[in-house]
Structure 1
């Protein structure tokens, strides 16, 4: 039993199952948590991008926190996304997450507003000051339109403001800069996770501590196998598992040109979980475009080829 914040391993960003009426499907959510725990994951991240946090009203956010934390009951640490536009709003979410029993908080840079690195640093300092929970920075420039600079991250780590990083920037050189800077400055306790599902083996080889994979909802066992292979130095096995996951990841593109990439990817993850019998409905939040029957059949083909159904 633990509520210590995670410093390594596979920490999937948990999808949020919804009913056809777009309420949180709590029964499916608990089955999904069990599916991930049975896969051997080292922690869970709720209310992230793959959780559709940007689409969830505050009451749905609180339901997810209460259901997951209550069901996990300390088996693994649970990180809570507290993502919102600016520090005062994020601080409100942080206090709710702390009250619910989260092990740590995950926040992006501010968005909608146009910010400077100095303001980004102030943003994270304000979040850290609001609770006693460790704070993980989430580098997601595709969504928030600001890249978290390595020097700012390392400065905040040295101050004790940040406990770690989830790097979903797609900038492998930037990731290496953070890993090298951490080593050079003696900040070994600053945890670095990649959020790029397709390059986990190379990130771990560079020195990253783990992965936060959206595709890990669909196949958590594979990411755990990849991570364990890397930990024992079997880079051939890690590469082979990564290549298998690379092919499976093609399911995120089934939506084609008539919907956004997010609708396609999140719809595919949920369709895969539905086809695997984990969740009852593949419903996505409004205003995302749902997958049609032919697209769900394509997801089924990807799962079959990966020997998941």
Structure 2
């Protein structure tokens, strides 16, 4: 299929199911994809933060993209993260995921070293000059320790360097600035990465959402998107509030023994296992697994949301 411009709707960052030996569990991955497609999602984002891309080897990254692209057969857009520390390393990932069939790449600012805005601009311009597919910026300062300034994003949008922005910054004011400015750039997509403010983001004029919780409840996020697009803001608010309550499952992990990432990703995978979609809830090392008691708490959140 032709890559849609702009990209709109619900585009979940697809979890990467693993075997107990921490290899990619391809059968579970494809069942998850079927679950998302059946839920009505509008695209798939592979190799993002929720996909545990930072923990996967280059071989596993290619394996994920090849398996999913081959399975969906063009039914809906498949985009893939090309996330790494520096421009040369990202260029290698762009080549790999594009060869595997990704229709767009999602790229953060460089990280590890301190990066000046001029260097970020050069990074994206270099990638866009080489990439055979559209480049979408990924603003996630919690992970890369750099906030993408709105004026930088809009400059690159105006020049055709960037095809969109996936915003996981938590800065709603800056997000609004990009949404407002993007109206001058036809085809530029602005997507929120927040599970909790999708209705607000769409009301501001965002094109869609990239919710990690959408793995667990794609039907809910698609329903929310449709309610917003229909202008049923009361219905949308009620659905958003149900999803906000469900999102509480990311906090089941004991903070005395694990980080927030282990808790959230472990909870998503535990929920998918409890729903019968994946075989094993293991997360990549060195993340700490959920206990049996914590997994039971995940089940209670699912039951309360009507998902068990």
TM-score, length of structure 1 as denominator length: 0.98
Matched-pair contact (CA < 8 Å) for 1:69–1:101: yes
2:306 corresponding residue in structure 1: 307
Partner SS, residue 198 of structure 1 = coil
Report the Cα offset of residue 256 of structure 1. 2.0
Partner SS, residue 299 of structure 2 = helix
2:33 corresponding residue in structure 1: 33
Q: How many residues align?
A: 307
Matched-pair contact (CA < 8 Å) for 2:17–2:25: yes
Matched-pair contact (CA < 8 Å) for 1:5–1:77: no
1:55 corresponding residue in structure 2: 55
Report the Cα offset of residue 189 of structure 1. 1.6
Is residue 127 from structure 1 mapped to residue 127 from structure 2 by the alignment? yes
* Unaligned segments of structure 2, at least 5 residues: none
Matched-pair contact (CA < 8 Å) for 1:10–1:42: yes
Q: Deviations over 1:76-98 (max 9, x none)?
A: 00001000001100000001111
Q: 1 CA distance for matches of 2:38 and 2:302?
A: 19
Match of 2:189 among 188, 191, 199: 191
Match of 2:242 among 241, 244, 250: 244
2:171 corresponding residue in structure 1: 171
Q: 1 CA distance for matches of 2:123 and 2:254?
A: 37
Q: Deviations over 1:184-238 (max 9, x none)?
A: xx11321000001100000000000000000000000000000001111111111
Is residue 265 from structure 1 mapped to residue 264 from structure 2 by the alignment? yes
Q: Deviations over 1:121-140 (max 9, x none)?
A: 11111111122210000000
Alpha carbons of structure 1 residues 6 and 57: separation in structure 2 relative to 1, 3 Å:
farther
Q: 2 CA distance for matches of 1:189 and 1:74?
A: 20
Partner SS, residue 165 of structure 1 = strand
Matching of residues 138-217 of structure 1 within 5 Å = 138-183=138-183, 186-217=184-215
Superposition misfits of 4+ residues, deviation over 2 angstroms: 1-6
Which has more helix, going by share of residues? Answer: 1
Alpha carbons of structure 1 residues 217 and 5: separation in structure 2 relative to 1, 3 Å:
farther
1:295 corresponding residue in structure 2: 294
Q: Deviations over 1:143-165 (max 9, x none)?
A: 00000000100000011100000
Matched-pair contact (CA < 8 Å) for 1:200–1:242: yes
Matched-pair contact (CA < 8 Å) for 1:6–1:77: no
2:227 corresponding residue in structure 1: 229
Q: 1 CA distance for matches of 2:2 and 2:133?
A: 14
Is residue 21 from structure 1 mapped to residue 6 from structure 2 by the alignment? no
Alpha carbons of structure 1 residues 187 and 135: separation in structure 2 relative to 1, 3 Å:
same
* Unaligned segments of structure 1, at least 5 residues: none
Partner SS, residue 231 of structure 2 = coil
Matched-pair contact (CA < 8 Å) for 2:5–2:187: no
Matched-pair contact (CA < 8 Å) for 2:8–2:207: yes
